Structure 1
Amino acid sequence: MTKKQAARNRPKFVVIGGGTGLPVILKSLKKQNADITAIVTVADDGGSSGVIRNYVNVVPPGDIRNVIVALSELPKINLDIFQYRFKSDDSFLAGHAIGNLIIAALSEMKSGIFSAVQELSEMMKVDGHIYPASNEPLVLHAEFTDGTQLAGESEITAAHKTIKRVWVEPTSWNAGQKPHAVQEAIDAILDADEIVLGPGSLFTSILPNLMISNIGDAVLKTKAEVVYICNIMTQKGETDHFTDSDHVAVLNRHLGQNFVDTVLVNTAKVPDNYMDYNRYDEYSTQVRSNFKGLRAQNCRVVSDNFLCLRDHGAFHDGDRVAQELFNVAGNPKACD
């Protein structure tokens, strides 16, 4: 078999999301030789990304930077330099990652984040495709069950209210424009074998992508299997007390129909007193399972021990998750 034939035979995964969970899955899919496209949220307003966004008219680069590193084939030393974050006593550059500054510079040079990421992907020897969910920075909006509304990811999560719905709008300097994804991202969704959502913050990492109308429409139209990797822990200010079924119900409600085909659910218990809730202060409790609720939404459930315990935190075991994603790709729900 030639290299071109091998490439054609690789299953096509489109992974949609943001945050720290996304690179873990991408690294493991890459190790198993998947054909990967990552569609990454552009609605982050915190940390170094938020500061850069406030001073420079560019999409916040943090999630994109981490995805580039996850799919890069450069030596570790190159990636360590790209990821290096200046110390807090470096007042001018305090807290900024070098990669964020490079992405911001390229965005200005290339007149947009999409072209910048494609250029940088070549420079960083990325195995796969990385598409920002939008070529323009977006602001996340939320309506809570008490009727109030807030704008901005950090403001929404800090409110610690029950979220009813979220949506995205352009920033003030792009007001009036309808958010949309580049055609390359839409084509990838429609041509995929499997769409992977998560793991990541439900309201602030996954849904901001799906609320871009042409992405949401493409996910509904695609013939690919749509797989949701349910979070292991609930998140304060977002999914307090949620079961796995509640997560899926929110996704389905936002797109107006039951579109999630398969859900990956962790069955291993996080040991009592293991979590360091001071260090991982965004987490609340372990997500409980409601298989009956998942079945009622026409979901196939793949349950297993996907838990990775390290540094007194609970994470997904990327290799185990990737293996199940490959299993699902070889046995789509429609063929059960």
Structure 2
Amino acid sequence: MKSNCQRRKRPRIVVIGGGTGLPVLLKSLRKRDADISAVVTVADDGGSSGVIRDYINVVPPGDIRNCLVALSNLPEFEKKIFQYRFKSEDKFFSGHAIGNLIIAAISEMEDEGIFTAVQLLSEMMKVDGHVYPAAEEALTLNAEFADGTTVAGEAEITHADKMIKRVWVTANDGSEPQAMPEVIQAIEEADQIVLGPGSLFTSILPNLMIKNVGQAVCQTEAEVVYICNIMTQLGETEHFTDADHVRVLNSHLGQNFIDTVLVNTEPVPQDYMDRQKYDEYLYQVKYDFKGLRAQGCRVISDNFLQLRDKGVFHNGDQVVDELMRLTGRPLSWRSDNFN
């Protein structure tokens, strides 16, 4: 018979991705008694992150900032300060989030790289879990399109308006990108690996294209769960089914490594979305459960939809309920320390 300690061991969950979907999931996971590690893309070159990356030569901090806040136990007002973005009339700081500047400052001040800086900041922000940049340096995302042309840079890829065939990442000095040992160890020791939700080619794959990350995910004994996007994305996944998303992931890593796919089956109400505000989202992803099962996937379909602000999002709590079921943890189990 297992001891109380063994039965109540915290499941180790590694979430890999970037963009706006990752912190939504992390916020919901933080309510549960899970040992969370977030592996965050460092190939972003747009917005405030892109400007800081260009001028200070530091890993783009935006996605890292959002993940730190999502897992932070600081009071809400202090987290709001970290997230505050200067207004456009503040010309010198226009568009920059305070947290981005702090991450860049600590990285430069300590002169030990972004990875150490994020760990120091995690302590300051009382982060419950771990936030790991996928690599120690900023990486460039590259793409080859169906017509054989190639382009470098995340922003350029999404604005090329072409069908993407494959993506890969490169380091500025020409060396092969590598993740830090802590990232690989987290993947190797995980009970569950979660991919997404997030942009397929620009948030999830940039992490997996780091060779030792991709190898670790393929070799792990943990269950690999992919949270399929609800909407197709302009310049990335136009007209994709759920099976197409998984097919691209498997193709990039050279094997069928996805074990379970979470698919939202709740229809998005017609004309609900603000198409100007969310102009990158096109149509609801179509279902191809036969195509998913042909790739060896278990399919879990449910209402994971959350409608807010005239946009379409995953309901983080509903998704995490399913993730916790997969780990064997009862849904009633919640952290006593969550505030």
Give me the TM-score of the superposition, normalised by structure 1: 0.95
Equivalent AA in structure 1 for residue 224 of structure 2? V
Query: C-alpha separation between the residues in 2 aligned to 1:79 and 1:129?
Result: 17
Segment of structure 1 superposing worse, 104-113 or 93-102: 104-113
Query: C-alpha separation between the residues in 2 aligned to 1:330 and 1:24?
Result: 22
Equivalent AA in structure 2 for residue 281 of structure 1? D
CA displacement at 1:308 relative to structure 2: 0.1
Equivalent residue runs for 1:14-29 within 5 Å:
14-29=14-29
Aligned to 2:299: 301
Query: C-alpha separation between the residues in 2 aligned to 1:68 and 1:220?
Result: 27
Equivalent AA in structure 2 for residue 252 of structure 1? N
RMSD: 1.3
Query: C-alpha separation between the residues in 2 aligned to 1:230 and 1:110?
Result: 38
Equivalent residue runs for 1:175-186 within 5 Å:
175-186=173-184
CA displacement at 1:18 relative to structure 2: 0.1
Which string of whole-angstrom CA distances, capped at 9 and with x for unpartnered residues, describes residues 64-121 of structure 1? 0000000000000000000000000001000000000000011112221100000000
Equivalent AA in structure 2 for residue 176 of structure 1? G
Aligned to 2:142: 141
Aligned to 2:84: 84
Matched, 1:328 2:326: yes
CA displacement at 1:8 relative to structure 2: 7.1
Aligned to 2:132: 131
| Preserved CA contact (<8 Å) 1:200 1:231 | yes
Aligned to 1:261: 259
Equivalent AA in structure 1 for residue 114 of structure 2? I
The SS at the match of 1:254 is helix
What fraction of aligned residue pairs are identical, expressed as a percent?
A: 70
Aligned to 2:164: 163
Indicate which of 245, 248, 268 corresponds to 2:246.
Answer: 248
Query: C-alpha separation between the residues in 2 aligned to 1:215 and 1:168?
Result: 12
The SS at the match of 1:178 is coil
Equivalent AA in structure 1 for residue 233 of structure 2? Q
Query: C-alpha separation between the residues in 2 aligned to 1:5 and 1:48?
Result: 45
Aligned to 2:286: 288
Equivalent AA in structure 1 for residue 290 of structure 2? K
Equivalent AA in structure 1 for residue 234 of structure 2? K
Equivalent AA in structure 1 for residue 305 of structure 2? L
Which string of whole-angstrom CA distances, capped at 9 and with x for unpartnered residues, describes residues 168-207 of structure 1? 0012xxx221100000000000000000000000000000
Aligned to 1:63: 63
- List structure 1 runs of 4+ shifted beyond 3 angstroms: 4-8
Give me the TM-score of the superposition, normalised by structure 2: 0.94
Matched, 1:239 2:240: no
Aligned to 1:310: 308
Query: C-alpha separation between the residues in 2 aligned to 1:225 and 1:195?
Result: 6
> Could you list the runs of 5+ residues in structure 1 that have no partner in the other structure?
332-336
Query: C-alpha separation between the residues in 1 aligned to 2:152 and 2:327?
Result: 37
Aligned to 1:334: none
| Preserved CA contact (<8 Å) 1:10 1:34 | yes
Which string of whole-angstrom CA distances, capped at 9 and with x for unpartnered residues, describes residues 15-57 of structure 1? 0000000001011111012110000000000000000001001
Query: C-alpha separation between the residues in 2 aligned to 1:6 and 1:108?
Result: 42
Which string of whole-angstrom CA distances, capped at 9 and with x for unpartnered residues, describes residues 306-331 of structure 1? 00001111100000000100111229
The SS at the match of 2:29 is helix
> Could you list the runs of 5+ residues in structure 2 that have no partner in the other structure?
330-339
Equivalent AA in structure 2 for residue 71 of structure 1? L
Which string of whole-angstrom CA distances, capped at 9 and with x for unpartnered residues, describes residues 245-271 of structure 1? 000000000000000000000000000
| Preserved CA contact (<8 Å) 1:7 1:35 | no
